[in-house]
Amino acid sequence: MNFELQEEHRLLVDMVRNFADKELVPAAAELDIQERFPEENLKKMAELGLMAMTVPEEYGGSGMDNVSFALAMMEVGRACASTAVTMSVTNMVAEGIYRFGTEEQKRKYIPPIASGEYAAASFALTEPWAGSDAGAIKTTAVRDGDYYVINGEKIFITSGAYAGVMMVAVVTDKSKGKHGISVLLVEQGTPGLTIGKAEEKMGQRGSNTVSLVFEDCRVPAENLLGQEGDGFKIMLADLDGGRIGIGSMACGVMRACLEESIKYSKGRVQFGRPISQFQAIQWMIADMATDLEAAENMVLRAAWLKDQGVRFTKAASMAKLFATEAANRAAYKAVQIHGGYGYTREFPVERFYRDIRVTTLYEGTSEIQRIVIARNILGRL
């Protein structure tokens, strides 16, 4: 067993960290306050090869492994969670198209994602009545000659207003339940697709979260991703990889919480000495660092398993569950260490605290991760 990163991984971490410190960290607070989509960040990240990282180069991707993706997500998460979630979902869609798409779909849709021609890509599963119970979606797609006609509504869609292409889960055969779900690739601007108002969120306010309304939206039949009826499995399989991305982002936010807490506690003097000299503060920092190390190892192991081509569903859910819950604990402690200042916008931990909250909700709540983990241990009871 070897816990050392390979040379290529170390170089990637250096490159992304330098970029993130220079470009992402300075902009993060303003993106949050103004609720501004990080378009310029994403363009630069596409130039660095961060938007379709695990897709082979022949389709415009970077041909990197999943460990690289996790490491890059950690660095971007440490700098700006709004940018990180956009990156994670875009990579998930690029990979979904690569894994399940036809040759034509891969050649048409992955290069513009990878190059930054598309600002982002979206994964449209959730509906007002189908969140955790994703198999209960109602949006329909009815075949009409060479087209599918989509009607329905999606909510909480990350990057929906900016995505060049979206993976949209639809019901093509109501009589078959989850086996009647399919996935269509829908381009931005397709007539019949309306982008709803952006959600006003607690955190990750620079990321774009919208509803999508489909009213007789006609999509070419050739945009079916995989086979009719395979859509639920395609979305869940793709989400397994997405959960590694969100777990990695949580590690990044946790690292930022730890770094800010170390800095602040060494500089803040109370009772005649830096508060880092008090055991109460030391224990919080020790717990944060321990959680971070465990989370990073879990996330990297899940990514490594994925690279080995073996089942990683349980490992990805465990990593996402542990990392996002631990990052919430870390953000709580970071604010606690900063005292009243931590509750103000003067210090970034206020934003970390809000940004991290959603990570135990999206891409499967912590409760859903426990269901996935338990089913992988006990089988379906």
Extract the tokens encoding 362: 């999206």
Identity of the residue, 43 or 178, whose beta carbon is nearer to ligand CAA in the bound complex: 178
DSSP letters for 271-287: TTEEGGGSHHHHHHHHH
Task: Pick from 83, 90, 105, 158 the residue near ligand CAA by CB under 6 A.
Answer: 158
Q: Which of residues 350-369 bind ligand CAA (CB under 6 A)?
A: 362-364, 368
For 132, the 3-state DSSP assignment is coil
Which of the stretches 28-36, 129-137, 250-258, 331-339 binds ligand CAA when contact is defined by CB under 6 A?
129-137
CA separation, residue 347 to residues 26, 256, 340 (Å)? 13, 12, 10
Extract the tokens encoding 149: 């006609």
8 A C-beta contact, residue 314 and residue 350: no
Q: Is 363 a catalytic residue?
A: yes
| 130 alpha-carbon distance from chain centroid | 19
Identity of the residue, 49 or 231, whose beta carbon is nearer to ligand CAA in the bound complex: 231
Task: Pick from 79, 89, 170, 319 the residue near ligand CAA by CB under 6 A.
Answer: 89
Extract the tokens encoding 339: 């005292």
C-alpha span between 365 and 247 (Å, rounded):
12
- 38 is an interface residue for ligand CAA by CB under 6 A: no
Q: Which of 8, 58, 363, 367 is catalytic?
A: 363
Residues 298-337, one symbol each (x = binds ligand CAA by CB under 6 A, - = not), give ---------------x------------------------
| Nearest partner of 15 among 68, 88, 54, judged by Cα | 68
C-alpha span between 321 and 303 (Å, rounded):
15
Identity of the residue, 50 or 167, whose beta carbon is nearer to ligand CAA in the bound complex: 167
Amino acid of residue 346: E
Q: Which of residues 159-218 bind ligand CAA (CB under 6 A)?
A: 178
Which of the stretches 47-55, 126-134, 280-288, 335-343 binds ligand CAA when contact is defined by CB under 6 A?
126-134
- 121 is an interface residue for ligand CAA by CB under 6 A: no
Q: Which residue has the tokens 């880092």?
A: 276
Size of the site for ligand CAA (CB under 6 A): 23
Q: Which residues are catalytic?
A: 363
Binding site for ligand CAA (CB under 6 A): 85, 89, 123, 125-126, 132, 134-135, 158, 178, 232-233, 236-237, 239-240, 313, 362-364, 368, 371-372
